[in-house]
Amino acid sequence: MEFFSQLPILTSFALTLMLTLVLPSLMERIRLPRPVGYILAGIILGPNMLSILNPDGKIVGFFAELGKLLLMFFAGFEVNIAQFNKARHKAATFGLLTFACPFALAVTLAALLGYSPNASAVIGAILASHTLLGLPIVKQEGLLGQEATVVAVGATLFTDMLSILVLALCVPIHVRGFDPMGMLILLGWLAVYVPGVVVGLSWFVERLLAAFGTTRVSSALIMLLVMAISAQMAEWIGMEGIIGAFLAGVALKRAFGEIKGDDSLEIMSQALFIPVFFITAGFLVDFKVFFATLRDQPLLVVGVLAALFVGKWLAAETTGWLFGYRRAERNLMFGLTVPQVAATLAVALVAYSTKNAAGQRLIDHPMLNATVVLVIVSSIVGLMLTAHAARQLDHMDSRSNQASPGRS
Protein backbone atom coordinates (compact mmCIF):
# COMPACT_ATOMS: atom_id res chain seq x y z
CA MET A 1 0.00 0.00 0.00
CA GLU A 2 3.01 2.28 0.46
CA PHE A 3 3.41 2.39 -3.33
CA PHE A 4 -0.02 4.01 -3.75
CA SER A 5 0.65 6.59 -1.03
CA GLN A 6 3.69 7.84 -2.99
CA LEU A 7 1.84 8.43 -6.26
CA PRO A 8 2.18 11.88 -7.90
CA ILE A 9 -0.65 14.22 -6.94
CA LEU A 10 -2.07 14.38 -10.47
CA THR A 11 -2.11 10.59 -10.70
CA SER A 12 -3.98 10.39 -7.39
CA PHE A 13 -6.38 13.04 -8.64
CA ALA A 14 -6.98 11.13 -11.88
CA LEU A 15 -7.64 7.87 -10.01
CA THR A 16 -10.05 9.67 -7.71
CA LEU A 17 -11.96 11.14 -10.65
CA MET A 18 -12.08 7.73 -12.34
CA LEU A 19 -13.57 6.04 -9.29
CA THR A 20 -16.07 8.86 -8.72
CA LEU A 21 -17.15 8.45 -12.34
CA VAL A 22 -17.29 4.64 -12.48
CA LEU A 23 -18.53 3.55 -9.03
CA PRO A 24 -21.63 5.79 -8.78
CA SER A 25 -22.69 4.71 -12.28
CA LEU A 26 -22.17 1.10 -11.24
CA MET A 27 -24.31 1.65 -8.16
CA GLU A 28 -27.12 3.02 -10.32
CA ARG A 29 -26.99 -0.08 -12.54
CA ILE A 30 -27.58 -2.30 -9.53
CA ARG A 31 -30.32 0.09 -8.34
CA LEU A 32 -28.34 1.66 -5.49
CA PRO A 33 -28.03 5.45 -5.01
CA ARG A 34 -25.00 7.25 -6.49
CA PRO A 35 -23.65 8.50 -3.12
CA VAL A 36 -23.07 4.88 -2.09
CA GLY A 37 -20.52 4.77 -4.91
CA TYR A 38 -18.75 7.83 -3.53
CA ILE A 39 -18.59 6.26 -0.06
CA LEU A 40 -17.20 3.06 -1.61
CA ALA A 41 -14.60 5.16 -3.45
CA GLY A 42 -13.60 6.68 -0.11
CA ILE A 43 -13.12 3.21 1.39
CA ILE A 44 -10.85 2.20 -1.51
CA LEU A 45 -8.89 5.47 -1.68
CA GLY A 46 -8.68 6.00 2.08
CA PRO A 47 -6.12 5.10 4.75
CA ASN A 48 -7.56 1.67 5.47
CA MET A 49 -7.03 0.32 1.93
CA LEU A 50 -4.88 1.95 -0.77
CA SER A 51 -4.01 5.20 1.07
CA ILE A 52 -4.11 7.16 -2.18
CA LEU A 53 -5.74 10.13 -0.46
CA ASN A 54 -4.57 11.58 2.83
CA PRO A 55 -7.50 12.21 5.19
CA ASP A 56 -5.43 14.84 7.01
CA GLY A 57 -4.42 16.63 3.82
CA LYS A 58 -5.39 20.29 3.68
CA ILE A 59 -6.78 20.09 0.14
CA VAL A 60 -8.95 17.06 0.82
CA GLY A 61 -10.12 18.55 4.12
CA PHE A 62 -11.01 21.88 2.53
CA PHE A 63 -12.85 20.26 -0.41
CA ALA A 64 -14.79 18.01 2.00
CA GLU A 65 -15.73 20.92 4.25
CA LEU A 66 -16.80 22.97 1.23
CA GLY A 67 -18.80 20.01 -0.10
CA LYS A 68 -20.58 19.59 3.24
CA LEU A 69 -21.49 23.28 3.30
CA LEU A 70 -22.57 23.28 -0.35
CA LEU A 71 -24.78 20.23 0.22
CA MET A 72 -26.63 22.11 2.95
CA PHE A 73 -26.54 25.38 1.00
CA PHE A 74 -28.29 23.92 -2.03
CA ALA A 75 -30.75 22.17 0.28
CA GLY A 76 -31.75 25.63 1.49
CA PHE A 77 -31.58 27.18 -1.97
CA GLU A 78 -33.86 24.54 -3.43
CA VAL A 79 -36.59 25.32 -0.89
CA ASN A 80 -39.67 26.72 -2.57
CA ILE A 81 -40.21 29.80 -0.38
CA ALA A 82 -43.92 30.13 -1.12
CA GLN A 83 -44.52 26.43 -0.50
CA PHE A 84 -42.31 26.46 2.59
CA ASN A 85 -44.29 29.37 4.03
CA LYS A 86 -47.44 27.33 3.58
CA ALA A 87 -45.83 24.25 5.15
CA ARG A 88 -43.61 25.90 7.77
CA HIS A 89 -45.79 24.74 10.67
CA LYS A 90 -45.69 21.19 9.32
CA ALA A 91 -41.90 21.43 8.89
CA ALA A 92 -41.57 22.69 12.47
CA THR A 93 -43.79 19.85 13.74
CA PHE A 94 -41.83 17.21 11.85
CA GLY A 95 -38.52 18.81 12.85
CA LEU A 96 -39.40 18.65 16.54
CA LEU A 97 -40.70 15.09 16.27
CA THR A 98 -37.79 13.76 14.21
CA PHE A 99 -35.47 15.27 16.82
CA ALA A 100 -37.41 14.28 19.93
CA CYS A 101 -38.20 10.62 19.09
CA PRO A 102 -34.64 9.34 18.46
CA PHE A 103 -33.32 11.71 21.14
CA ALA A 104 -35.58 10.23 23.81
CA LEU A 105 -34.81 6.65 22.77
CA ALA A 106 -31.05 7.30 22.65
CA VAL A 107 -31.02 9.02 26.06
CA THR A 108 -32.89 6.08 27.57
CA LEU A 109 -30.48 3.59 25.97
CA ALA A 110 -27.41 5.53 27.13
CA ALA A 111 -28.74 5.80 30.69
CA LEU A 112 -29.39 2.03 30.78
CA LEU A 113 -25.82 1.42 29.59
CA GLY A 114 -24.43 3.52 32.43
CA TYR A 115 -23.63 6.84 30.77
CA SER A 116 -24.00 10.05 32.79
CA PRO A 117 -27.02 12.32 32.15
CA ASN A 118 -24.78 14.83 30.37
CA ALA A 119 -23.22 12.19 28.12
CA SER A 120 -26.64 10.63 27.51
CA ALA A 121 -27.96 13.97 26.26
CA VAL A 122 -25.03 14.26 23.83
CA ILE A 123 -25.61 10.70 22.58
CA GLY A 124 -29.24 11.67 22.01
CA ALA A 125 -28.09 14.71 20.02
CA ILE A 126 -25.80 12.51 17.91
CA LEU A 127 -28.78 10.45 16.76
CA ALA A 128 -31.38 13.22 16.53
CA SER A 129 -29.96 15.21 13.62
CA HIS A 130 -29.78 14.12 10.00
CA THR A 131 -27.97 14.96 6.76
CA LEU A 132 -29.86 15.31 3.47
CA LEU A 133 -27.74 12.80 1.57
CA GLY A 134 -30.77 11.72 -0.43
CA LEU A 135 -31.62 15.18 -1.75
CA PRO A 136 -29.80 14.64 -5.11
CA ILE A 137 -31.93 11.51 -5.61
CA VAL A 138 -35.13 13.45 -4.94
CA LYS A 139 -34.03 16.19 -7.30
CA GLN A 140 -33.23 13.65 -10.03
CA GLU A 141 -36.78 12.30 -9.74
CA GLY A 142 -38.23 15.85 -9.97
CA LEU A 143 -39.77 15.71 -6.49
CA LEU A 144 -38.24 18.81 -4.88
CA GLY A 145 -41.59 20.58 -5.09
CA GLN A 146 -43.42 17.85 -3.19
CA GLU A 147 -44.70 19.03 0.18
CA ALA A 148 -43.20 15.97 1.87
CA THR A 149 -39.77 16.98 0.54
CA VAL A 150 -40.22 20.61 1.59
CA VAL A 151 -41.25 19.51 5.08
CA ALA A 152 -38.27 17.13 5.40
CA VAL A 153 -35.83 19.79 4.18
CA GLY A 154 -37.30 22.37 6.55
CA ALA A 155 -37.10 19.91 9.42
CA THR A 156 -33.34 19.67 8.88
CA LEU A 157 -32.96 23.22 10.13
CA PHE A 158 -34.66 22.32 13.42
CA THR A 159 -32.89 19.00 14.03
CA ASP A 160 -29.39 20.24 13.29
CA MET A 161 -29.84 23.44 15.29
CA LEU A 162 -31.23 21.54 18.28
CA SER A 163 -28.46 18.92 18.12
CA ILE A 164 -25.71 21.54 18.01
CA LEU A 165 -27.50 23.46 20.77
CA VAL A 166 -27.53 20.38 23.02
CA LEU A 167 -23.80 19.92 22.36
CA ALA A 168 -23.12 23.61 23.04
CA LEU A 169 -24.92 23.29 26.38
CA CYS A 170 -23.35 19.98 27.41
CA VAL A 171 -19.70 20.75 26.59
CA PRO A 172 -19.26 23.58 29.14
CA ILE A 173 -21.19 21.53 31.72
CA HIS A 174 -18.70 18.68 31.27
CA VAL A 175 -15.66 20.98 31.39
CA ARG A 176 -16.65 23.62 33.98
CA GLY A 177 -20.00 22.56 35.41
CA PHE A 178 -23.45 24.02 34.93
CA ASP A 179 -23.36 27.64 33.64
CA PRO A 180 -26.85 29.13 33.22
CA MET A 181 -25.50 32.47 31.98
CA GLY A 182 -23.57 30.80 29.16
CA MET A 183 -26.74 29.00 28.08
CA LEU A 184 -28.75 32.22 28.07
CA ILE A 185 -26.08 33.96 25.99
CA LEU A 186 -26.08 31.15 23.40
CA LEU A 187 -29.88 31.16 23.17
CA GLY A 188 -29.84 34.94 22.80
CA TRP A 189 -27.31 34.80 19.97
CA LEU A 190 -29.40 32.12 18.25
CA ALA A 191 -32.55 34.24 18.48
CA VAL A 192 -30.70 37.09 16.76
CA TYR A 193 -28.73 34.99 14.28
CA VAL A 194 -31.48 33.07 12.46
CA PRO A 195 -33.71 36.03 11.45
CA GLY A 196 -30.59 38.15 10.96
CA VAL A 197 -29.23 35.76 8.34
CA VAL A 198 -32.50 35.08 6.53
CA VAL A 199 -33.57 38.74 6.39
CA GLY A 200 -30.25 40.58 6.59
CA LEU A 201 -28.38 38.47 4.06
CA SER A 202 -31.34 38.62 1.68
CA TRP A 203 -31.05 42.43 1.74
CA PHE A 204 -27.26 42.18 1.33
CA VAL A 205 -27.59 39.85 -1.68
CA GLU A 206 -30.12 42.16 -3.32
CA ARG A 207 -27.57 45.00 -3.07
CA LEU A 208 -24.83 42.76 -4.51
CA LEU A 209 -27.05 41.68 -7.41
CA ALA A 210 -27.89 45.31 -8.16
CA ALA A 211 -24.20 46.23 -8.11
CA PHE A 212 -22.65 43.27 -9.95
CA GLY A 213 -25.54 41.77 -11.95
CA THR A 214 -26.44 38.13 -12.44
CA THR A 215 -23.71 36.97 -14.79
CA ARG A 216 -22.38 33.43 -14.41
CA VAL A 217 -19.25 34.55 -12.57
CA SER A 218 -20.90 37.10 -10.29
CA SER A 219 -23.77 34.75 -9.35
CA ALA A 220 -21.37 31.96 -8.38
CA LEU A 221 -19.14 34.31 -6.38
CA ILE A 222 -22.09 35.88 -4.57
CA MET A 223 -23.38 32.41 -3.63
CA LEU A 224 -20.00 31.34 -2.25
CA LEU A 225 -19.47 34.63 -0.43
CA VAL A 226 -22.84 34.58 1.31
CA MET A 227 -22.48 30.90 2.24
CA ALA A 228 -19.02 31.47 3.71
CA ILE A 229 -20.15 34.53 5.71
CA SER A 230 -23.19 32.76 7.13
CA ALA A 231 -21.27 29.58 8.00
CA GLN A 232 -18.50 31.54 9.69
CA MET A 233 -20.99 33.58 11.69
CA ALA A 234 -22.62 30.35 12.87
CA GLU A 235 -19.28 29.04 14.11
CA TRP A 236 -18.53 32.33 15.88
CA ILE A 237 -21.63 31.96 18.05
CA GLY A 238 -20.91 28.31 18.82
CA MET A 239 -23.12 26.64 16.21
CA GLU A 240 -22.10 24.34 13.34
CA GLY A 241 -21.33 25.88 9.93
CA ILE A 242 -23.90 23.67 8.19
CA ILE A 243 -26.67 25.65 9.92
CA GLY A 244 -25.33 28.86 8.43
CA ALA A 245 -24.95 27.29 4.99
CA PHE A 246 -28.56 26.12 4.99
CA LEU A 247 -29.83 29.54 6.08
CA ALA A 248 -27.65 31.20 3.44
CA GLY A 249 -29.37 29.10 0.78
CA VAL A 250 -32.77 30.22 2.05
CA ALA A 251 -31.62 33.87 2.14
CA LEU A 252 -30.31 33.68 -1.44
CA LYS A 253 -33.54 32.10 -2.64
CA ARG A 254 -35.48 35.00 -1.13
CA ALA A 255 -33.12 37.52 -2.72
CA PHE A 256 -33.14 35.95 -6.19
CA GLY A 257 -36.93 35.71 -6.21
CA GLU A 258 -38.05 34.91 -9.74
CA ILE A 259 -34.55 35.49 -11.16
CA LYS A 260 -33.11 32.21 -12.35
CA GLY A 261 -29.76 31.75 -10.67
CA ASP A 262 -26.84 30.38 -12.64
CA ASP A 263 -26.29 26.65 -12.10
CA SER A 264 -22.54 26.53 -12.83
CA LEU A 265 -21.66 26.44 -9.10
CA GLU A 266 -24.12 23.60 -8.52
CA ILE A 267 -22.65 21.62 -11.42
CA MET A 268 -19.14 22.02 -10.04
CA SER A 269 -20.37 21.13 -6.56
CA GLN A 270 -22.10 17.95 -7.76
CA ALA A 271 -19.06 16.97 -9.85
CA LEU A 272 -16.30 17.64 -7.31
CA PHE A 273 -16.92 19.14 -3.87
CA ILE A 274 -19.95 17.13 -2.70
CA PRO A 275 -18.47 13.80 -3.93
CA VAL A 276 -15.29 14.57 -1.95
CA PHE A 277 -17.44 15.05 1.15
CA PHE A 278 -18.97 11.60 0.61
CA ILE A 279 -15.51 10.16 -0.09
CA THR A 280 -14.21 11.42 3.26
CA ALA A 281 -17.14 9.67 4.94
CA GLY A 282 -15.74 6.49 3.40
CA PHE A 283 -12.37 7.22 5.07
CA LEU A 284 -14.02 6.50 8.42
CA VAL A 285 -14.64 2.89 7.50
CA ASP A 286 -12.01 0.83 9.29
CA PHE A 287 -13.18 -2.75 9.08
CA LYS A 288 -11.08 -3.75 12.11
CA VAL A 289 -12.83 -1.11 14.21
CA PHE A 290 -16.15 -1.91 12.59
CA PHE A 291 -16.10 -5.61 13.43
CA ALA A 292 -14.39 -5.12 16.81
CA THR A 293 -17.17 -2.77 17.87
CA LEU A 294 -19.80 -5.23 16.67
CA ARG A 295 -18.07 -8.01 18.60
CA ASP A 296 -17.28 -6.16 21.85
CA GLN A 297 -20.23 -3.76 22.10
CA PRO A 298 -23.16 -5.49 20.33
CA LEU A 299 -25.83 -4.04 22.63
CA LEU A 300 -24.51 -0.50 22.14
CA VAL A 301 -24.33 -0.79 18.34
CA VAL A 302 -27.69 -2.54 17.92
CA GLY A 303 -29.32 -0.21 20.42
CA VAL A 304 -28.01 2.91 18.69
CA LEU A 305 -29.20 1.70 15.29
CA ALA A 306 -32.59 0.68 16.69
CA ALA A 307 -33.04 4.04 18.43
CA LEU A 308 -32.27 5.85 15.19
CA PHE A 309 -34.49 3.85 12.85
CA VAL A 310 -37.40 3.47 15.27
CA GLY A 311 -37.24 7.13 16.29
CA LYS A 312 -37.10 8.50 12.74
CA TRP A 313 -39.85 6.10 11.62
CA LEU A 314 -42.11 7.11 14.49
CA ALA A 315 -41.60 10.79 13.64
CA ALA A 316 -42.42 10.29 9.95
CA GLU A 317 -45.45 8.13 10.70
CA THR A 318 -46.79 10.52 13.35
CA THR A 319 -46.35 13.55 11.09
CA GLY A 320 -47.94 11.69 8.19
CA TRP A 321 -50.90 10.72 10.36
CA LEU A 322 -51.32 14.29 11.63
CA PHE A 323 -51.28 15.87 8.16
CA GLY A 324 -52.73 13.09 6.01
CA TYR A 325 -49.65 12.18 3.96
CA ARG A 326 -49.69 9.10 1.74
CA ARG A 327 -47.59 6.04 2.54
CA ALA A 328 -45.01 6.92 -0.14
CA GLU A 329 -44.69 10.47 1.23
CA ARG A 330 -44.15 9.17 4.76
CA ASN A 331 -41.54 6.74 3.43
CA LEU A 332 -39.78 9.59 1.63
CA MET A 333 -39.67 11.69 4.82
CA PHE A 334 -38.35 8.68 6.73
CA GLY A 335 -35.66 7.92 4.14
CA LEU A 336 -34.48 11.53 3.93
CA THR A 337 -34.07 11.84 7.70
CA VAL A 338 -32.24 8.55 8.35
CA PRO A 339 -28.68 9.35 7.10
CA GLN A 340 -26.34 10.55 9.85
CA VAL A 341 -23.21 12.30 8.57
CA ALA A 342 -22.57 16.03 8.86
CA ALA A 343 -24.02 17.19 12.20
CA THR A 344 -23.71 13.66 13.62
CA LEU A 345 -19.95 13.52 13.03
CA ALA A 346 -19.54 17.12 14.17
CA VAL A 347 -21.28 16.42 17.50
CA ALA A 348 -19.54 13.07 18.05
CA LEU A 349 -16.02 14.28 17.27
CA VAL A 350 -16.36 17.42 19.40
CA ALA A 351 -17.81 15.41 22.29
CA TYR A 352 -15.05 12.78 22.06
CA SER A 353 -12.28 15.40 22.08
CA THR A 354 -13.81 17.26 25.08
CA LYS A 355 -12.18 16.35 28.41
CA ASN A 356 -12.86 17.59 31.91
CA ALA A 357 -10.26 18.38 34.60
CA ALA A 358 -9.97 14.66 35.44
CA GLY A 359 -9.20 13.78 31.82
CA GLN A 360 -12.56 12.07 31.22
CA ARG A 361 -14.03 12.39 27.74
CA LEU A 362 -17.61 13.53 27.24
CA ILE A 363 -18.26 10.33 25.22
CA ASP A 364 -15.97 7.30 25.24
CA HIS A 365 -14.25 5.39 22.43
CA PRO A 366 -16.89 2.63 22.14
CA MET A 367 -19.54 5.29 21.54
CA LEU A 368 -17.36 6.95 18.91
CA ASN A 369 -16.94 3.58 17.18
CA ALA A 370 -20.70 3.01 17.38
CA THR A 371 -21.15 6.41 15.72
CA VAL A 372 -18.92 5.31 12.83
CA VAL A 373 -21.08 2.21 12.40
CA LEU A 374 -24.15 4.44 12.60
CA VAL A 375 -22.84 6.74 9.86
CA ILE A 376 -22.08 3.84 7.52
CA VAL A 377 -25.31 1.91 8.03
CA SER A 378 -27.63 4.92 8.12
CA SER A 379 -26.10 6.47 5.00
CA ILE A 380 -26.46 3.35 2.89
CA VAL A 381 -29.89 2.31 4.21
CA GLY A 382 -31.20 5.89 4.15
CA LEU A 383 -30.15 6.38 0.53
CA MET A 384 -31.77 3.11 -0.48
CA LEU A 385 -35.00 4.01 1.36
CA THR A 386 -35.04 7.46 -0.27
CA ALA A 387 -34.46 6.04 -3.74
CA HIS A 388 -37.24 3.48 -3.31
CA ALA A 389 -39.71 6.02 -1.90
CA ALA A 390 -38.87 8.57 -4.63
CA ARG A 391 -39.49 6.02 -7.39
CA GLN A 392 -42.70 4.93 -5.68
CA LEU A 393 -43.96 8.51 -5.36
CA ASP A 394 -42.94 9.39 -8.91
CA HIS A 395 -44.80 6.34 -10.20
CA MET A 396 -47.91 7.25 -8.21
CA ASP A 397 -47.84 10.85 -9.49
CA SER A 398 -47.35 9.65 -13.08
CA ARG A 399 -50.38 7.35 -12.82
CA SER A 400 -52.40 10.18 -11.30
CA ASN A 401 -51.44 12.54 -14.14
CA GLN A 402 -52.33 9.93 -16.76
CA ALA A 403 -55.72 9.33 -15.17
CA SER A 404 -56.68 13.01 -14.70
CA PRO A 405 -57.32 13.90 -18.41
CA GLY A 406 -60.02 11.28 -18.59
CA ARG A 407 -61.97 12.75 -15.71
CA SER A 408 -64.88 15.10 -16.29
Q: Which of 380, 350, 376 is nearest to 134 (CA)?
A: 380
Q: What is the mean pLDDT of residues 224-244?
A: 84
Instruction: Say what the pLDDT of residue 253 is.
Output: 79
Over residues 151-170, the mean pLDDT reads 81
Mean of pLDDT values over 166-174: 78
| Range with the poorest average pLDDT among 99-113, 152-166, 245-259 | 245-259
pLDDT (tens digit, 9 = 90+) per residue, 249-300?
878 877 776 555 557 788 888 888 888 888 887 787 777 777 777 788 788 8
pLDDT at 155: 87
Check if the beta carbon of residue 340 is closer than 8 Å to that of residue 378: yes
Rounded to two decimals, the pTM is 0.74
What's the pLDDT tens digit per position in 307-351?
A: 999 999 999 999 999 988 889 899 999 999 998 876 787 778 778
Q: Answer for the pair 275, 77: CB distance below 8 angstroms, yes or no.
A: no
Residue 107's pLDDT is 94
All domains of the chain in start order, with CATH: 2-397 (1.20.1530.20)
